[in-house]
Amino acid sequence: MKWSAFLKDRIMTLILQIFCMLGLCGYLLLLGNTLGEVLLIVLVWILILAAYLGKTYWDRKRYFEHLISTARSLEQAYLITEVMERPVLEEDRQYYQLLKLANKSMMEAITAIRHERREYKEYVEQWVHEIKTPISAIKLACENNKSEVTRRILTEAEKTDNYVEQALFYARSENVENDYLIRQVSLKDCVHSSVVHNKRLLIQNGVALDLGNLDELVLADSKWVEFILSQLLVNAVKYRRKEGSRISIQACVLGNQVELSVEDNGIGIPESDLPRIFEKGFTGNNGRNGQRSTGIGLYLCKRMCDKMGLGIQAVSKQGEYTRFLLVFPRA
């Protein structure tokens, strides 16, 4: 709060005080008081007024600075009315009541939105459960009746299954804090599980897999890590080269961290697209030119990594390779 702004808000009071002073001076002079006596009275009046304004300004300044400091220290600043003291001045109490009403209305709106999101998540989870049953049946039927047609159907079923997984994890990502547990996990087990989950996709597309040293323990949630690795494997297969496709996965220790590298020798990512690959809905040139891309997979990978406190970045050279680096806290 600035002194000039404080005085500006009280300009009418100051003007009224000036007119009162002038009126009193005229009245006292008419009564026969000397000019010195009148000036002394005016001086005392001015000193009292200045002291009052100064004290009021100082009290108000400290009061609002304390409120601002308290609000900034809160994780949810809108809860300020729950911790602030009830104001002394009547005008402040009116503003306090307005804040309470606004806060109550906002809390009700937030509760309603959370309820809607929870219902949405439950609906998606139920939908995913229902849709996975016929997808699994289609896969089983194709495996038991192998032909060129069933191989194509199986490929499309695998793609559909991946999209369904994305929908499930996207719904869960809204409240991921309640859906993951950070603990000591084996990178080797996570990679193995992701590879097994995508083995048909790798085999059908003739993609070779090189697994390096993965005997490291990290702090993460295995379920989310396996999802991230599956998305990276699916992308590597989708943007593979026509012949000699290969994916290399290995880990190395960097002090208190473990860096997991997932590298392919595919078509690469254009340099202009690289800064935006983790944006929601971004498909890039590769996704638009012949490959059906939703722009959700890498977005979810980045979102999950951020939630778990993991690092993720991509390095690529168009026509040669793409390398994704995941950085974990070492267990």
Per-residue pLDDT reduced to its tens digit, 216-247: 999 998 988 998 999 999 889 888 888 889 99
Count of CB atoms within 10 A of residue 198's CB?
A: 22
CA-CA distances (angstroms) from residue 273 to 95, 204, 316? Answer: 50, 28, 10
Higher pLDDT, 202 or 96: 202
Residues in the chain: 331
Higher pLDDT, 120 or 265: 265
pLDDT range class, residue 93, cuts 50, 70, 90: confident
Residue located via tokens 């602030």: 84
The whole-number average pLDDT for the span 307-321 is 90
Q: Summarize pLDDT for 25-41 with one digit per residue, the tens.
A: 888 888 888 888 888 88
Q: In the predicted model, what is the mean pLDDT of the chain?
A: 83
Amino acid at 270: P
Per 3-state DSSP, what percentage of the chain is helix, strand, and coil (rounded to 5)?
A: 65, 15, 20
Q: What is the pTM of this model?
A: 0.63
Count of CB atoms within 10 A of residue 236's CB?
A: 27
Domain residue limits, the chain: 3-106, 181-331
The domain defined by 181-331 folds into Heat Shock Protein 90 (3.30.565)
End-to-end CA distance of the chain: 50
Q: Assign 210 to helix, strand or coil.
A: strand
